[in-house]
Chains A and B, each alone.
Chain A
Amino acid sequence: MVVYDIRDLVKIYPGQTTPANRNITLQIEQGEIFGLLGDNGAGKSTLVRQMVNLVRSTSGSITLFGQPIQRDPLFVPMNVGYMPQDGLALNNLTVDEALFFTSHLRGLSRADANRERDTLLDLLQMRELRSKIIPRLSGGEKRLLQIAIALASNPPVLILDEPTNNLDPQRRKLVWETLRRRNRENGTTIIFITHDAIEAEKVVQRVGIMREGGLVALGKPSELKALVDKKLRLELFFSPDTPPCLPPTLPCRKLDAGRWLVLLEWDEMMPALNRLDLSQLDDFRLYSATLEDLYLHYAKQSA
């Protein structure tokens, strides 16, 4: 089932001639984890703000579960939990109050909203923050609360604009685990924006890459990688003090001190590994093209 059906979407802000996004056509299926990648200013945030009805489109159409989003102004808020990119806006509330009121205003009864608040506090390990007023939270704690607010009342669709910015590695892991669980157990459709392709690769099922307002690539990461780059990456780690001793037939390039990269065709992999003197290496890694390579490929195309 198609959750979002976006067709020929264009947004030109008043007073500007360059479109913030142009001719975007995109369908997002129920239960998908969809990542939207792109540089700053590529039009990602404008697109998701159009999807949650915060920005009026210049032309084109967006339907959610088959219904045009502008027909009923309360339809999107009832079905979509949105986390904006900018800071938390509820500056006078405590964490407890923010979660309760959001759940209650999203349609839960008082008792259910209280239960939902407690569930979210446990889920995102925020119990000790519950009585704190929001301005007194750290940047990471505010981000975590924003995620909890988007999750509140378990909407069928989540749209998250750079959800793990400002979070430490432990909390990033917690957030991605939580989102994956919501997706697996409840079938929640998750659409998120990031420009951290390495992070996106851990969770994303399908990806769209935006450049200068347009959608320049769309598909499963594996399909896109196959189109762009089939080479394997062999990363070699030497002690920075020891000059590397590599077979002359291996074309390699230095990435950092003590870190070298060799690009290989699939059939070159075994001979190349056999030629290496593993006793001289600190470590090595072998992997196919990453989402970051893909992202950089499309970013480079634009230059």
Chain B
Amino acid sequence: MQNSQRRRPAILVQLADLFLIQLSNWRWSWRSALIVGTAAPLGSIVALGIFARSAGPEALAYVLTGNMVLSLMFENLDKVCSNFSYMREVGTLNYFATLPIQRCMLVLATVLAFLTLSLPSLLVTLCLGSMILGVSLAPHPVILLVIPLAAIPLSGIGALIGTSTRNPQEASSISLLATLVLLGLGPVIVPPSRLPGIMLTLGRLSPATYAASALRQALPGPLTPRLWLDMAVLAGLSVVIFWLVGLKMDWRQQ
């Protein structure tokens, strides 16, 4: 093999290869996807559904879509956080840094891989959750955009925690805390009428609020102009969070 046969890999080649490399995380993640990404949201749906039934269909829709956000958090925020923290700990980031690839391609490939891996859990949560709660679904095609837009800023927060913390244990604790805080802030699982004003105000800063709102409109419906605001905020948050990840990530000398 002669050196002259080598060319710098194209951006799409980098993205595809890194995506496939990161997709291989299914070899460890499928067990927790089954337990944490599916069973935990379904357990929460069953428990909260008991109380929400008396509050009407709106509350049931909040329980369903809020737990879909919970599933996305477990499978994207937490897993991406663990993955970056682990990669930093064991030297995988150094391995990638000695290959001719762009840093942003690694971040993007990781996020896309974990988004792909989270889809089965999300689908199971949606199908079984709607059956358990008796929520009728009217999925709009915009859901195909809403799901990635809901997951990507959550993954970005996971990547930020994973690259900023000192070790995997610290990363795991902080990501769990972040999951609980984002879930509790704002009308994610609980309708706004049941939340104090301060929570509603703070909830405006949380991507989970916009993700839950967008999922509610795209699945049980109805679609409102608010959806475009939700999607725009999620896209904006994605850009800001990924810019921060790029700043924080251990990488080659710049």
Contact = CB atoms under 8 A, between A and B. Distances in A.
A139 interface: no
B31 interface: no
Given A154-B1, A155-B3, A77 B98 contact: yes
Contacts of B21: 90, 92-93, 97, 101
Contacts of A104: 9, 13, 17
Contacts of A87: 90-91
A273 B216 CA distance: 95
Interface in A86-105: 86-87, 89-93, 97, 101-102, 104-105
What's the dominant secondary structure at chain A's contact region? Answer: loop
Nearest to B1: A154
Contacts of B99: 77, 102, 105-106
User: How large, as a class, is the contact surface on chain A?
Assistant: 35 or more
Given A92-B28, A104-B17, A84 B3 contact: no
Contacts of A101: 17, 20-21
A80 B101 CA distance: 14
A70 B254 CA distance: 6
A54 B24 contact: no
Given A54-B252, A107-B6, A107-B7, A90 B101 contact: no
User: How large, as a class, is the contact surface on chain B?
Assistant: 20 to 34
A134 to B, nearest CB: 10
A119 B2 CA distance: 13
Nearest to A75: B100
B1 A112 contact: yes
Contact of B100 (A56, A106, A119, A133): A106
Nearest to B26: A92
Contacts of A73: 252-254
24 contacts: A52-B98, A57-B253, A73-B252, A73-B254, A77-B98, A77-B100, A77-B101, A78-B6, A82-B98, A91-B92, A92-B24, A92-B25, A97-B21, A97-B24, A101-B17, A102-B99, A104-B17, A105-B13, A105-B17, A105-B18, A112-B5, A133-B27, A154-B1, A155-B3
